[in-house]
A and B are shown apart, each in its own frame.
Chain A
Amino acid sequence: MPSNSAAELASASQDGSAAPAAGDRQTPGVKRKPLAAPGRQDRRVPKLSGSGLLLPLLAGVLFLALWELQVFHKLFDLKKYQLPLPSAIAEAMRDNFSLLLSYTGYTLTEAVLGMLAGSACGFLVALCATAWPRWGGGSLTLVAALNAVPIVALAPIMNLWFGDGIGSRVAIVTATTMAAMAINAYKGMAAVDPLALDLMHSYAASKRAVFRYLRIQNSLPYVFTALKINATASMIGAIVGEFFFSSRGLGYLLSNSIKVAKMPLGWSCIVLAAIAGVIFYLAVERLEKLFIKWHPSERA
């Protein structure tokens, strides 16, 4: 009995997600939650129990207090206009609340649209790579290479192609979110249980039926892992895209505030971007819970 089930082998993927815990002996066919894709821990948000959250919260409050009391300024010899105090940032947020809110919505729209487009493209690439392994594999490598291209290099080109509007940022986000989805979905489709595949063959199932009833189903947990990665990546893509050729959005406001030395406003953009990123991420996580209820990893 081989201890490595297909799911385990899948998690040791070519893009280098962590090798599975070899100690996890399990019968083939009992699938485990796929290891999160590279760079992601198996992140179930830590339980919101008192003890688990108290310590980090205290640390955070302490950190903010030290910041407010200008300890960091003394340590690193900073001026207040370089590193504004939390109270100043909060004030800037209050004063520009409606503007910040509308810009956050704008940036989030770009991120969501781009992520949907990019994830769809990535999924298609994965489908092709699985259906025609010999010729599709190359496309997977190309997409992975696209992932290593700095967003910053893409931004001006997309700006030339799609103008200054929302389109160019959506295109940037699309390009940056494709790879994670393609690689993860491919892993999920390739890592089907061999027994199930044999069963399909014995029923003389067509390629299409194998995809429909087996591979797509099997790739869902992986797809959601990719979506979670992309939630963060798309926010970054949208914000970085706005740094350069934009007249709206959080990224524009951030880089602009810094140019005119309005540091507190710049920092409040960061705070909002962080909040929006977390909300987006948690929304994807909720969707995941809804969609793959049947998956063992979702059972209590």
Chain B
Amino acid sequence: MKAENVFARSRLLPLFVWIFGLLLVWEGASWLLLHVLETPLAQSKLPYVHEVVATLWKYGGTLIKEGAATFGNAGVGFLIGAVSGVALAVLMSLSRIIERLAFPYAIASQMIPILGLAPIIYGIVRDEQISRIIIAGYITFFPVSLNMLRGLRSVEPSALELMHSYAAKPWAVYWKLRFPAALPGLFSGLKIAAPLAVTGAILVELMGAQHGIGVIMLRNLYYGPSHTYMFWSTVIVGALLGIASYGLMSLAERLAAPWQPEFRPKGGSR
């Protein structure tokens, strides 16, 4: 039995069927709630898909603008966090002392609900832009550094021996061997961190910012049923931002490290 690659061609048709089917069920359930069960606040609970799409279309400009504010800040924080995460990983792989110092804390931070820090940071900084960047960066930092470190360590011993037998300089070993080997690990870290960075940015906005998708989400929620389609549109934009950030990282991975098994047409015998 071959488990094919999810992204292979044969998988695309079922996926579309799934998505389409879900939308149909959604629309049907929405109608059911509204007309058959007559639940209070039916449209707030599950609005008509076509109404939401129409709202998305109508207020597209606003949504894109606010979404861009969120995405931009999250992106800047993400980049800063990723770069410092990579730097720490390289330092940890170079020096035992730094590793002994930083590694337990990196591990512990994995067990701690980091997102809970968002209101605290906002309370300290009191500037939405900066606190969005800080949170996004902080969330990105640890997964990237841990995965990168694992990648740097995943070098084949025989390849290392070969480099030594050529009397390669340490920087050459890093540049030609360790960094390429670490790319898959790095990207797995980036792929986890990207949606989290977006989440963190939106969370900061809900704490009382002026701009961003989170702000209009909250505003429309407070207006109640009259703005329900707009509220759902903001939710969908938020979801799309998260998915887009993940997609971007997957795309970058394909370009930067295309030799991995999961990109092979047959996907190996997973």
Contacts and interface: CB of A to CB of B under 8 A. Distances in A.
Given A150-B202, A157-B235, A258-B123, A10 B270 contact: yes
Interface centre among A12, A45, A273 (most CB of B within 10 A): A12
B243 A18 contact: no
Interface in A244-283: 244, 250-251, 254-255, 258, 263, 266-267, 269-270, 273-274, 277-278, 281
A137 interface: yes
Interface string B89-103: 000000001001111
A270 B91 CA distance: 29
A273 B112 contact: yes
> Secondary structure at chain A's binding surface: helix, strand, loop or mixed?
helix
A23 B104 contact: no
7 contacts: A14-B262, A56-B100, A82-B124, A150-B238, A151-B199, A152-B202, A277-B113
Given A43-B107, A277-B111, A20 B101 contact: no
B269 interface: yes
Interface residues of B, number: 91
Contacts of A15: 188, 191
Contact of A46 (B104, B151, B262): B104
Nearest to B204: A152
Interface in A51-70: 52-53, 55-56, 59-60
A18 B147 contact: yes
> Secondary structure at chain B's binding surface: helix, strand, loop or mixed?
helix
B113 to A, nearest CB: 4
A192 B262 CA distance: 17
Given A23-B158, A39-B192, A153-B239, A138 B187 contact: no
B114 interface: yes
Nearest to B124: A82
Interface in B41-66: 41, 44-45
A196 interface: no
A222 B17 CA distance: 29
Given A23-B158, A38-B189, A152-B238, 18 more contacts: A9-B268, A13-B262, A17-B188, A21-B154, A23-B154, A38-B147, A41-B107, A52-B100, A78-B124, A134-B10, A137-B6, A147-B195, A152-B206, A153-B202, A239-B113, A270-B116, A277-B113, A281-B111
